[in-house]
Amino acid sequence: MAHSRSPRGKPLQFQAFDAPYVDRLRSGDPPTQEHFVAYFTELIQLKLRARLRSPQALEDVRQETFARVFAALQSPGGIRQPERLGAFVNSICNNVLLEQYRASSRATSLEDGPAEELPDASVDVLQTVADKQMEEKVREIVAEMPERDRRIIRGVFLEERDKDEVCRDFGVDRDYLRVLVHRAKQSFKVLYLKSLEGRSPGPEAAGKL
């Protein structure tokens, strides 16, 4: 049987799958699910450890891959070719990895590009922190954000902490911090625009959006 080298240095035996295995996986059989997660975790780590420098990014891709596979198992169409389960998981992982690359690329552009080349309105919204008339509103919105996004916005924009220090707090590198900053900006923008619904913002606020 073909094998490769696992992250622990042990030979990894490649598994053949069939309809009964997929049926047990779909029905939530604990031993089958444990085997599935352990087996594909090693394969995903083999695939991604040379592609993603951040352990957190790798873990995000792994978890999202499993979430989508389990969702597909429960969907009406399901997995129609059980013997190709490995190829299906690999395809899902590739899609998630591509999304990760795109998010990182967008965040890099937002973080490092010249101000005149930043069309994302969330950048201007975040800069209203400097405007005392908007500061209270900004802090109210930040308080409503998910914890990780809130910590990112406070650390990077409100408190203007050193980014290397923020990286250490989150256990990520600079590349993945850009992804987190991008996501936090989008979260802030959604809440900010929602706060404006039902009333007409003045010219100044409209200009910032």
Question: pLDDT digits over 64-92, tens only?
Answer: 999 999 888 888 777 888 888 888 898 89
- What is the pLDDT confidence band of residue 46, given thresholds at 50, 70 and 90? confident
Distance of CA 165 to the CA centre of its chain: 21
Q: Nearest Cα to 190, choosing from 125, 131, 127?
A: 125
Gap between the Cα atoms of 160 and 205, Å rounded: 23
The CA distance from 24 to 36, in Å, is 11
- Determine the pLDDT at residue 37: 92
Give the span between the Cα atoms of 57 and 37, in whole angstroms. 18
Domains of the chain: 3-108 (1.10.1740), 115-208 (1.10.10)
pLDDT interval class at 7 (50, 70, 90): very low
The answer to whether the pTM exceeds 0.75 is no
Helix (H, G, I), strand (E, B) or coil at 29: coil
- The pLDDT of residue 31 is 92
Express each pLDDT in 147-159 by its tens digit.
988 999 888 888 8
Per the listing, tokens 């073909």 go with 2
